[in-house]
């Protein structure tokens, strides 16, 4: 039985991987929900968004959480970054779906909080793809 499960899991891998690939165009449209608080700016060049309540999302992929210079992060997000949180698609999707719950689980601390109260329950893979498409080349 274990062998059948393992084979089924291996066959399903390409489907699961492709399901996580986002659509950057759809993400650009979804980013409108984020743009009142966030912007994507490379230096003085504003690529998208107008908000300054949240940190600049330019170059978020692989960045340690809570480290955008001159941004006043909440203690829990800084602690998560210090504990090793570097933004990737999986953690980004979990965070934007429920920031408080994500930080509580990541830090194993029921008192952890997030300044971000907005929740993006659907489309995180698309927003991630958009952020990658307008970010620095890796």
Q: At what angle do helices 89-97 and 124-134 cross, to 10 degrees?
A: 130
* 61, two tokens: 């992929």
Domain membership of residue 69 (yes or no) is yes
Looking at the domain assignment, is residue 28 inside a domain?
yes
SS3 state at 21: coil
Confidence of residue 20 (pLDDT cuts 50, 70, 90): low
Average pLDDT over residues 78-95: 98
For residues 77 and 60, is the Cβ–Cβ distance under 8 A?
no
Does 82 have pLDDT greater than 70? yes
Residue 5 resides in a domain: no
Average pLDDT in the 121-127 region? 96
Pair of tokens at residue 96: 């934007």
Asked whether residue 18 is assigned to any structural domain, the reply reads no
Domain of 46 in residue numbering reads as 23-134
> For the residues 119-131, what does the mean pLDDT come to?
97
Total-model pTM: 0.83
Backbone angles phi, psi at 35, to 5 degrees: -70, -15
Residue 7 domain flag: no
Average pLDDT over residues 38-46: 96
Rounded Cα distance between 138 and 126, Å, is 19
Q: Count of domains in the chain?
A: 1
DSSP-assigned beta bridge partners for residue 48? 40
Whether 123 is covered by a domain: the verdict is: yes
Q: Is residue 77 part of a domain?
A: yes
Rounded Cα distance between 71 and 48, Å, is 18
CB atoms near residue 132 (< 10 Å): 18
């Amino acid at each position: 039985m274990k062998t059948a499960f393992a084979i089924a899991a291996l066959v399903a891998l390409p489907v699961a991987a492709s399901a996580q690939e986002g659509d950057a165009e759809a993400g650009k449209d979804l980013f409108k929900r984020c743009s009142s608080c966030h912007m994507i700016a490379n230096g003085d060049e504003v690529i998208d968004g107008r908000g300054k309540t949240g940190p600049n999302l330019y170059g978020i992929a692989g960045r340690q959480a809570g480290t955008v210079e001159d941004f006043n992060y909440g203690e829990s997000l800084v602690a998560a970054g210090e504990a090793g949180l570097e933004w990737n698609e999986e953690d980004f999707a979990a965070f934007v779906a429920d920031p408080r719950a994500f930080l509580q689980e990541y830090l194993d601390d029921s008192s952890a909080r997030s300044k971000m109260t907005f929740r993006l329950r659907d489309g995180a893979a698309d927003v991630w793809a958009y952020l990658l498409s307008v970010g620095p080349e890796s």
